[in-house]
Structures are given as structure tokens and as C-alpha cells.
Amino acid sequence: MYRYDEFDERFVRERVAQFRSQVARRLDGSLSDDEFRPLRLKNGVYLQLHAYMLRIAVPYGTLSSRQLRQLALIGERYDRGYGHFTTRQNLQFNWPKLKDVPDILDLLADVEMHCIQTSGNCIRNVTADHFAGVAADEVEDPRPTSELIRQWSSLHPEFSYLPRKFKIAVTGAEHDRAAIAAHDIGIRILRHPDTGEVGYRIFVGGGLGRTPMIARLVRDFLPKADLLAYLEAIMRVYNLEGRRDNKYKARVKILVHEVGIEAFRAAVEAEFAKLDGPTVNADPAEMARIAAYFAPPAYETLPATDAAYERARAAEPEFARWADVNLFPHKVPGYAAVTISLKPIGGAPGDATSEQMRAVADLAERHSFDELRVTHRQNLVLPHVRLSDLHAVWKALVAAGLATANEGLITDIIACPGLDYCALATARSIPIAQSISERFGSYERQREIGPLEIKISGCINACGHHHVGHIGILGLEKSGQESYQVTLGGDATEDAALGVLLGPGIRGEEVPDAIERIVDVYLRERQPGEVFIDAVKRLGLAPFKPALAGAAKELADAD
């Protein structure tokens, strides 16, 4: 993985000093609260419901064991012994004190980490496929491109005061695991169909929030060398033309929607043509320098199967059950990628204790070339584990309370922090996730249901990505009580789709019953081998509507 050189090191150290100075100038009155606020946000410090929250960047979701141990230490020393992994592959601490933040930043800088641009109206921490370097359907590892974008977007002089936040995601694979269609800019690395040259396909204007939109194609094929100049052209058009009169209409998706993709593309291409590319783009030697850090680790030459692994599967059904669900095929024979679920039955999605972080760090060090990943589905991944090590890894995960076998299943729920933490929330998210998780906790039942993604947001800002959940749940406040809307048919992959509202809102207590009835309709109607999302796409909403009817009527009567 990427390692800082002397320039990166100095950059983060100076950035910490800069934030200390900003805090000091707020305290001595040089900066007003309004002036300090965006500076604080661009350093990941939010004022939440009960305390400050600190969001730490995990660029493209890649961590080393040393970094995760440092996060564990920070959690223990400055928080309550745990952290929360987010849908943007970041980590949040919910209880730090503002006065401790510069010290935390120093600890992060010690392990080549920072909080730069994890919030605020700027280019946010770039995200990527969590199976980068692992998946067989990959044209190219998306992480070198992501790292180049991380550097280029950090403290950008022109694009640090944008109309609104700006999120970029990169995938190098055919199957989109990075949800690029839900980002302000989505980048897909691909081969040119005629020349075979590797380049980029660029999408723009995706996003969730209160006006969800799927990104549109802006450039079919961009030569790799032109990336930064093209991104500057897009950013400049957005910075100049994006709406600033209404924060709810300020994302680039609204600009693209209002002017139309053709006019937007024309403006970008015109700006790109005027830009002096060679003075802006990274030279090939720089791109090669970054790419070298992501060279494949020293894999052993192994057979595609492993006798000890097969024996362990046969001997311990619990292990086999976990392996059936939480492993992802590795492109190198004899290896697998392991998803460590942070969704224990009845637990808070994405939370990990400092002890658990250390356990995972140990496993990464011992069994996965010292590398791990954070997924946008709020889980962790050990990307390169030998089949013969899987049993030992599983036993260690069991001991750490991290062996829940539910990756991609109905209890692998994405949820925002909701009203339990968040100042913006209108309803609780985590307790809803917990109640659904408990209802469907049985492994056999989850396997029978098959792949099904539930995503829960506690307000219209959609941090829980409910719009692209196969089942999406949105918590709102309606005449003083929580009301939950259910959507069906959302999809965050290359077949991106927004979920459609199933009916009127229901009470929180009714949600598990309603989900159960929806699942019952699916189980009754599905064709052999047909997964939930495909069944919804085939059947439409009609057969599922009655599932909500009873509960919604009750809420209406209570009003």
C-alpha cells in the first residue's frame, strides 16, 4: 500500500500545525464562529448532538495493521473504547473533546493518516472498490488513481470553497462495488474497445440526499494521462456554475439536471480544451511511482484448493457456514478475501471496539500481508488470506466476537448513526437496524432469503444510502413521532437504480413486521435462483404493497 514520502509527511505535519493555529485564532477572537466552522469541518470535526465527532479519512478504504492499532489507541484514550466505520470507508469517533483534536491529529500523522476534507464543501475523501487488487474482474487496481486524486484534491487552492460537498469514487472492475453512480464523480477504469489502452470512463452528477440521482456519462474514454486536467475542468464548471442560493440545490447533480448533461459536457470539454494539460497533469513517472506502492504482495504459488481447509470445513459446520458467506474469491489461486462483518446480530452496524480493532490488526499482520480494507457497507476485509489460514483466522474472529456469518445477507444492514448521535437526524436508525437484525438473526433463514441489502437513513440526507438499498428505510419525524418510509428496488451497482416508495410511513416498531411481510412475498413469488432485487425488478411494486398497508393504517389512525 501507499507509504508517505518526505513531502507527504511534511504536508500532514504542517496541516496539523495549521489546525492548531486555526483553533488558537478562534479562541483569541481573530476568527468568528462562522469563519471557523468550515475550517473545523474541513478537518473532520463536527458538532453533534451530544459532543464533537471526529471523522478520520481512510483513503479508498485501505489500512495497515499499524494504522488500525493507532485508531484503537485513539479510541481508548480519547473516546469510549470504540469507533464507528462509515459508508464512506472512514472511521468516526463520537466522543472526543475539541481540545484533544490536535493531539489526535498528531497521533494520526504518526501513522500517515489525517482528517483532511472528511467534511465541508470540498472534495471529500476518495473511495474505491474494497476488493481492489483482489477481484478477478478488475482491469486495473483503482488505488493508484485514487491516491493520485487524494493528493491532487488535498487543500486544492481553487476547489476548497465549493457550493457543496463533492465525492469521487473509483472502480477498476466490471462489477461496481464502489457505487460510482451514487457519487458526484464516478470513475471507471476500462480498456478502450479498439486500442486496448487503459483509460477512464467518467460519470458525473450522482448523489443521494434529498434529491437522489444516478450519475450521467460525461466522458466515454479519457486517456489516463489527462485525468487531473479533466477533473479540474469538471470542478471549475461546477465551482463557477453550481447553485449557491440554496444548499439543497447546490450539489453538482442539480446543475447537471438543470442544464442537461449535453450542455454540462460541452462546458466541461470547452474548459478542458482551454486548460494547459501538461502543466496540470501528473507526469507518467509520478503515476508509476504511486502505482509501484500497489504492486501485488509476494503471493505464494499455491494450488487452487487446500486439503486442511476442506477438512476444517467438514469438521466444523460453523466454520463452513461462515466461509460460505463471508469469503470472496481471490484472483490468485489458494487465497481468499475475508469479510469481517461489523454487523453482529442485534448490534450497531459499523461499530468496532478498540480490542476488536487490535484483533483484526493482528490478523492482517499475520495472515494478509499487513493490509486490510474498510468497505462502504461498513465491514472490514482481510484481502489476501491463504486458504490454509482461514480456519485460524475464523477462530480468532470468533474469539473477538467478529465471526458473524452474514455478508450481503439481510442482517448485513447499512445504517447511519441516526438520532442516537446525529444533530441532523429526524429519527433513530441504529435501533431499527437492531430490531430487523434480531428478527432475521437465524443463519438458515438468512441463507434461504439470500442476498438482500437493507439500508437505513435517519433523515432525508440519506447517509445510510436508503435510496440504493434493495429495501430502503428512511426515518422521518411526523407530528412529533418517528415515521419510517420503505422503498424497494434500489441498487448501487452497475445496474444502479433508485428505490421506489412502497407506501405511507409506518411506526418504528412496525418495521420488522413489514420487512418480514415483504420478504414473505418474495419467497412466495420468486423463481428458482432469483435473488430479491431481481424479483423486485421483475414483479414491480404491486405485490409488495399489501405488506405495508396494515402498519401504515395504524399510524394514520393514531394521528
Partner 1 sequence: MPIDRNGAVPETWTRVPGAEAAAAARPLVPFAEIEAALAVVAPGADLGVEVPNTTRYEALAPYLDRIALVSIVFPSFSDGRGFSLARQLRERGYPGRVRAAGPLIADQFPYALACGFDEVDLPEASAVRQPAEQWIAALQVMSSTYQRGYRSGGNILDQRREARRNFAGGRP
Out of 25, 447, 517, 545, the only residue in the binding site for partner 1 (CB under 8 A) is: 25
* Residue 17 near partner 1 by CB under 8 A: yes
In the complex, least distance from residue 246 CB atom to partner 1, rounded to whole angstroms: 14
What phi and psi values does residue 63 have, to the nearest 5 degrees? -135, 150
- Window of 146-154, 329-337, 437-445, 536-544 that interacts with partner 1 by CB under 8 A: 146-154
Out of 110, 286, 324, 554, the only residue in the binding site for partner 1 (CB under 8 A) is: 286
Q: Which residues contact 169 (CB under 8 A, 6 or more apart)?
A: 126, 127, 128, 178, 179, 180, 182, 183, 185, 186, 187
CA distance 139 to 343: 31
Q: Are 531 and 450 in contact (CB under 8 A)?
A: yes
| Complex with partner 1: residue 7 or 195, whichever CB lies closer | 7
* Residue 70 near partner 1 by CB under 8 A: no
Which DSSP symbol is given to 58? -
- Window of 30-38, 105-113, 295-303, 329-337 that interacts with partner 1 by CB under 8 A: 30-38
Q: Which residues contact 228 (CB under 8 A, 6 or more apart)?
A: 148, 152, 280, 281, 282
- Window of 281-289, 425-433, 436-444, 504-512 that interacts with partner 1 by CB under 8 A: 281-289
| Complex with partner 1: residue 123 or 514, whichever CB lies closer | 123
CA distance 263 to 499: 28
* Total number of residues shown for the chain: 559
* Residue 145 near partner 1 by CB under 8 A: no
Element (H, E) at 542: none
- The 229-248 contact track toward partner 1, x by CB under 8 A, reads -------x--xx---x----
Out of 121, 127, 146, 375, the only residue in the binding site for partner 1 (CB under 8 A) is: 121
Cell of 345: 446480530
CA distance 61 to 547: 37
* Residue 291 near partner 1 by CB under 8 A: no
* Residue 14 near partner 1 by CB under 8 A: yes
Segments in 95-226 forming alpha helices (H): 101-110, 143-153
CA distance 55 to 71: 11
- Classified as helix, coil or strand, 237 is helix
Q: Are 525 and 473 in contact (CB under 8 A)?
A: no
Q: How many chain residues are in contact with partner 1, going by CB under 8 A?
A: 47
* Residue 32 near partner 1 by CB under 8 A: yes
In the complex, least distance from residue 5 CB atom to partner 1, rounded to whole angstroms: 7
* Residue 30 near partner 1 by CB under 8 A: yes
* Residue 292 near partner 1 by CB under 8 A: no
Contact positions with partner 1 (CB under 8 A) in 362-421? none
Binding residues (CB under 8 A) for partner 1: these are 5, 7-8, 10-11, 14-15, 17-18, 21-22, 25, 29-32, 35, 38-39, 121, 151-152, 154-162, 228, 236, 239-240, 244, 274-276, 279-283, 285-286, 289
